[in-house]
Amino acid sequence: MSDSQVTIIGAGPSGLTLAWWLVEQGISVTVLERETAIPKDMRASTFHPATLDLLTDSGLATALIERGTVVPQWQYLIHQSGERAVFDMKHLSEMTAYPFRLQCEQFQLTELLAEKLAEEPLCELKLGATVQNVIPETSQVTVQYQSAGENKDIVCDWLIAADGASSRVRRSLGLDFDGQIFPKTSITLVLEHPFEDDIPNLLGVNYVWLPDRHYSLMRLRDTWRLTYSPEQDQDIETALSDEVARTHIARVSPRARNTTILNRNYYTLHQRCLERFCHGHILFVGDAAHLNSPAGGMGMNSGIHDARSLADHLVPVLNGEDSALLERYDRRRRTVAREEVQRLSARHYARHRETEASKRVLIWRELQEMINDPVKHRDFLLDAAMIRSRQREKTIE
Ligand SMILES: Cc1cc2nc3c(=O)[nH]c(=O)nc-3n(C[C@H](O)[C@H](O)[C@H](O)COP(=O)(O)OP(=O)(O)OC[C@H]3O[C@@H](n4cnc5c(N)ncnc54)[C@H](O)[C@@H]3O)c2cc1C
């Protein structure tokens, strides 16, 4: 006898959207989360149209839009000259109910989901429960975890690893997580300053080029996020220091130099993927299964797409279909992770961060060609808005 039909480890965007879509279909779920409250995670800020389309039915898309900022156009901006390459999401209006990027912190989604799930008798969300080990058996999995200093066990029919980049489940099973670390790390500051008053034509999402540097400047409801890359050999403490952070802020806008820094975080960027997402009765989603550069804002979105796909495959299995159906979940989402999300985000990374003048000339020419040709413009946005990867997924048998 098992204690739980489905246990999900991790209350991030992948784990909680999956919990929601399972509970909606009558499946009982236990979620184990090591933090004692839903983490105020500052990483993801962009929700793409393909994801908002998935979140429509439950009312989550509307609730998120109320908490975020709608960005119908976004741009590359040459800081000195003010030249721009503006992408306009109206080219997607026939493909999505949401032809815009939504800028909204990822914790807004997880907090909303945690509130909704708290009202669901089929869901038990255990906070402060840190998973230590998982023991797979033929048709069940035992999960060993610690809660309030005590060692506990739970036996489930299916275990979902949604426990993020450093997944304990992945380590427990001794799985390889091959890939690479990107050469440049990233620092994100959350700032109060009204950059829109200083920089003409600023939009909600801006990839800003200075002659020797690149920044991204993203609007949230009441704040702006500025991202920069530290110098090659700079230690983390120096790169995060007030002096260095304020020098970067001032290069984007001298008036903002002394603004309040509400938050600052340092990230190493990886591109990795599991060889398989399904290991018997243990199934992987989100960052636990694959990682990509944050350029283009695709990691969380693709984790939510994994969750939708897994719910669509797991529910029929729980209702009696052959578990071989789950192999299709693996084929679909692993192919998308490697051939769409990793490929596109690596291209965004290279485009945003290029600082060599001659290479920038070529990138700029390519960007201008795309925005001036309606077919190429729409084609580029279908990828960037993650609509094409969802279309491709459905063609994989
Ligand atoms: C700087 C930066 C900016 C980004 N911006 C974007 C963006 O704009 N758009 C986008 O789509 N993506 C973005 N991403 C990526 C995005 O943040 C991640 O892809 C996303 O958080 C993955 O969600 P997840 O639920 O799979 O994992 P996580 O969000 O990492 O959640 C995992 C959860 O598991 C819990 N957990 C871990 N170990 C255990 C354990 N042993 N026991 C119990 N619980 C455990 C953790 O506490 C956490 O709550 C960005 C990433 C970075 C670094």
| Residue keyed to tokens 């309606």 | 374
Alpha carbons 153 and 131: distance in angstroms, whole number:
9
- 88-109: average pLDDT: 97
Please state, for a pLDDT cut of 90, what percent of the chain lies above it: 95
- Is the distance from the beta carbon of residue 299 to the nearest atom of ligand 1 less than 6 Å? yes
Which residues does 299 contact at the CB level (< 8 Å), separation at least 6? Answer: 43, 44, 286, 287, 291, 292, 341, 345
Distance 32 CA to ligand 1 centre (A): 15
Alpha carbons 105 and 108: distance in angstroms, whole number:
6
**232 pLDDT tier (thresholds 50, 70, 90):** confident
Alpha carbons 326 and 79: distance in angstroms, whole number:
49
- Is the distance from the beta carbon of residue 297 to the nearest atom of ligand 1 less than 6 Å? yes
DSSP at 386? T
- Tens digits of per-residue pLDDT, 175-204? 999 999 988 889 999 999 999 999 999 999
Query: Does 147 score more than 90 pLDDT?
Result: yes
- Please report the atom of ligand 1 found closest to the CA of residue 267: 53
Alpha carbons 164 and 43: distance in angstroms, whole number:
12
- Is the distance from the beta carbon of residue 46 to the nearest atom of ligand 1 less than 6 Å? yes
**212 pLDDT tier (thresholds 50, 70, 90):** very high
- Is the distance from the beta carbon of residue 45 to the nearest atom of ligand 1 less than 6 Å? yes
Structure confidence at residue 6 (pLDDT)? 98
**307 pLDDT tier (thresholds 50, 70, 90):** very high
Alpha carbons 277 and 289: distance in angstroms, whole number:
6
Distance 165 CA to ligand 1 centre (A): 7
**1 pLDDT tier (thresholds 50, 70, 90):** confident
Alpha carbons 233 and 185: distance in angstroms, whole number:
11
Pocket test for ligand 1, best of 218, 300, 342 (most atoms within 8 A of CB): 300
b/e burial code for range 337-355 (CB count within 10 A of at least 16 → b): beebbbebbbebbebbbbe
Query: Does 228 score more than 90 pLDDT?
Result: yes
- Is the distance from the beta carbon of residue 110 to the nearest atom of ligand 1 less than 6 Å? no
- 286-298: average pLDDT: 96
Q: What is the pTM of this model?
A: 0.97
Nearest CA to ligand 1 atom 37: 163
**83 pLDDT tier (thresholds 50, 70, 90):** very high
- 210-231: average pLDDT: 95
Give the DSSP H/E element, type plus range, for residue 4: strand 4-9
Give the mean pLDDT of the chain. 96
Query: Does 16 score more than 90 pLDDT?
Result: yes
DSSP conformation letters of 253-286: -GGGTT--EEEEEEE--EEEE-S-SEETTEEE-G
**353 pLDDT tier (thresholds 50, 70, 90):** confident
The residue type found at 168 is: R
Distance 37 CA to ligand 1 centre (A): 15
- Is the distance from the beta carbon of residue 50 to the nearest atom of ligand 1 less than 6 Å? no
- Is the distance from the beta carbon of residue 307 to the nearest atom of ligand 1 less than 6 Å? no
Query: Does 167 score more than 90 pLDDT?
Result: yes
Alpha carbons 186 and 181: distance in angstroms, whole number:
12
Pocket test for ligand 1, best of 16, 42, 43 (most atoms within 8 A of CB): 43
141: how many CB neighbours lie within 10 A of its CB? 23
Q: Beta strand pairing status for 205-210 and 73-78?
A: parallel
Q: Is 314 helix (H, G, I), strand (E, B) or coil?
A: helix
DSSP at 341? I
Distance 304 CA to ligand 1 centre (A): 11
- 287-294: average pLDDT: 96
